[in-house]
């Protein structure tokens, strides 16, 4: 329209552009631009002002749509980043817990040392008990042997009585 300085209808514009007849209805910014050019060609100031306002509104609508799409994309990205951050925090918390469970506190270390000392004392007590039992066995055998020796050294009452009846001498 600018080159030929001839106003074209919306139908003629869509026919020459080889697009769907509703194309300008869906693209209000292009329709407003076409109306602005028609008003300029007709030298109709009020119509040109209305077309400029419509063009600005259409441009703002297009810009608003683009901003909404960007906002939606940014929200998706934000959700993805938040999910990654949650995952990283969970892994870090898990690592801290694992390290915390693996690391011994001073109290745990002290308890472990006391358990080792107790186990060593119990083992020494068992060894002492075993040695004591061995000494009891030796003592009991010695007592049996001592009793046998005492019995062998003691005068036999039957021999003593017979020796007392026998006169001394040859």
Residue range 62-86, pLDDT digits in tens:
889 899 999 999 999 999 999 999 9
- Global pTM value: 0.39
**Max CA distance (Å), the chain:** 185
Q: Which residues contact 41 (CB under 8 A, 6 or more apart)?
A: 1, 5, 6, 7
Alpha-carbon distances of 66 from 27, 33, 58, 63, 144, rounded to whole Å: 13, 19, 12, 5, 113
Mean pLDDT along residues 58-65: 86
Show the tokens assigned to 127.
């060894």
């Amino acid at each position: 329209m600018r080159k030929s300085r001839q106003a074209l209808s919306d139908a003629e514009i869509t026919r020459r552009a080889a697009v769907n007849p509703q194309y300008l209805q869906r693209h209000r910014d292009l329709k407003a631009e076409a109306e602005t050019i028609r008003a300029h060609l007709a030298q109709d100031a009020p119509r040109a002002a209305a077309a400029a306002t419509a063009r600005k509104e259409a441009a703002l609508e297009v810009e608003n749509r683009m901003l909404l799409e960007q906002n939606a994309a940014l929200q998706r990205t934000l959700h993805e980043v938040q999910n990654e951050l949650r995952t990283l925090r969970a892994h870090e918390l898990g690592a801290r817990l694992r390290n915390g469970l693996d690391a011994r506190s001073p109290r745990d270390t002290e308890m472990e040392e006391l358990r080792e000392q107790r186990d060593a004392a119990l083992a020494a007590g068992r060894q002492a008990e075993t040695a004591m039992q061995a000494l009891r066995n030796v003592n009991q055998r010695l007592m049996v042997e001592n009793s046998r020796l005492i019995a062998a050294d003691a005068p036999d009452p039957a021999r003593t009585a017979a020796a007392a009846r026998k006169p001394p001498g040859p």
